[in-house]
Amino acid sequence: MKKKVACCYGTRPEFIKIAPVVLALRKFHSDIKQVLICSGQHRELLRGIGEDFGLKPDIELNVRKKIGDSGDLSELAAGLLKGFDGVFRRVKPDAVAVQGDAASAAFAALAAFHLRLPVYYIEAGLRTYDLSAPFPEEGYRQMISRVASVLFCPTEIDKKNLLNEGIPENKIHVVGNTVVDALKIILKGPALLRQGRAFTDKKIVVTVHRRENWGDPLKRILLSLKKIRDNNPEYKFIVSVHPNPIVKNVIESFLKDEPGFELIIPPTYRKFISILGQSSGVITDSGGIQEESPTLEIPCLVVREKTERIAGVKLGWSFLAGTGGDEIISGFRWLINWKRPKGGNPYGDGKASVRIADVIEKIWQ
């Protein structure tokens, strides 16, 4: 009888990073059945993404009608916990796989823990050790690590974090980050986009959405972008506007119809990666983009106070600017003068998903 693993997601980054694992299990381990479960946490941003990978969910929970409906995190958490608990009881998986640090991952893991199901945690060990940054993700990922049976780390830095927290070493596997695998699936070698090209197009991609940047930090970031535009009129800024009204309304009030800024609705993942790969760099508070930029060979200016993607900063792929105006303007100078660091991609070689699938197979032998 086939073993069964429930692969859970609810946000776009979760799907992008768990999809290669599902595909690797299907290709190399046909004796393992995957059940793809979507919570619906970020339904708008997930539309059409399955087509990029040839996947669609087996089960959808519909915990959210649209982004912004459940601004209360406790309400969202309760819906996720109840939804995942019900589907696990019905599907009866042998294990549950989760990825990252979104609410869907945290409460799928907790529901599995309550049912004494093993939790396989992809992208484990990322830390800022500040529960307010990122909020609530830092708390969620620490929680998942405590209940996980197997933890797949992107880098040795992440493994060290887990060891320092008392996680047994035999539970930890350093495999790389599956986002590199996803990019290879989408673009079949995306680093080729940069080969032989100078940064002559003068286009900068911008994404800002994180909860800890809501309010004054977001306003400071946007004001800084306008100052940068004033001082660098040759650059064009392509701003992907998150659909959450708390973010969308502020961005539009600052940048709509402003010269030098093009506001776009979040495109499909394939289209976004194409835009990103043809840019001169990216300004973001996203976690995933910090991992994608080395594969695309572009610089990443991080507008957050702290980042858990330390490897990219240490090797010179990213620069942590914070959210202060002067710091962001200084960071922009780093971005436009950036030189490609020596060495390979700090987040892996595009084979993380195969390593994860192989570990899962060995567990069940």
Instruction: CATH number of the domain at 287, please.
Output: 3.40.50.2000
Annotated catalytic residue 209: yes
DSSP letter for 215, please. T
Neighbours of 42 (CB within 10 A): 26
Check whether residue 170 and residue 304 sit in a common domain.
Answer: no
Is there a single domain that holds both residue 109 and residue 219?
Answer: no
Which tokens is 115 given? 């049912």
241 and 103 belong to one structural domain: no
Query: What are the structure tokens assigned to 255, written together?
Result: 């940048």
Please tell me whether residues 330 and 204 are part of one structural domain: yes
Residues 217 and 357 in one domain: no
Q: What is the pLDDT of residue 47?
A: 74
Picking from 153, 94, 144, the residue whose alpha carbon sits closest to that of residue 122 is: 153
Q: Of 233, 232, 231, 251, nearest to 241 (Cα)? A: 251
List the structure tokens of 124. 């484990």
Which of 209, 187, 358, 233 lies closest to 286, judged by CA? 209
pLDDT tens digits for the chain (365 residues)?
A: 789 999 999 999 999 999 999 999 999 999 999 999 999 887 776 677 778 899 999 999 978 655 554 468 898 999 999 999 999 999 999 999 999 999 999 999 999 999 999 999 999 999 999 999 899 999 999 999 999 999 999 999 999 999 999 999 999 999 999 999 999 998 874 444 444 444 457 999 999 999 999 999 999 999 999 999 999 999 999 999 998 999 999 999 999 999 999 999 999 888 899 999 999 999 999 999 999 999 999 999 999 999 999 999 999 999 999 999 999 999 999 999 999 998 889 999 999 999 999 999 999 88
Catalytic member of 209, 210, 220, 304: 209
202 in a structural domain: yes
Query: Are residues 209 and 64 part of one domain?
Result: no
Q: Which of 85, 94, 194, 211 is catalytic?
A: 211
181 tagged catalytic: no
The catalytic residue among 101, 138, 181, 305 is 101
Domain limits for position 159: 3-176+350-363
Q: Is residue 160 domain-shared with residue 253, that is, in the same domain?
A: no
- Cβ atoms of 63 and 142 within 8 Å: the answer is no
Cα(285)–Cα(251) distance, integer angstroms: 14
Give the three-class secondary structure for 233: coil
| Domains identified in the chain, total number | 2
- Which pLDDT score is estimated for 192? 42
What pTM was estimated for this model as a whole?
Answer: 0.91
Taking the C-alpha atoms of residue 78 and residue 176, their distance in angstroms, rounded to an integer, is 32
Type of residue found at 94: D
242 is catalytic: yes
Residue 101 bears catalytic tag:
yes
Neighbours of 339 (CB within 10 A): 7
Q: Is 58 a catalytic residue?
A: no
Q: Report the pLDDT value the prediction gives residue 2, as an integer from 0 to 100.
A: 87
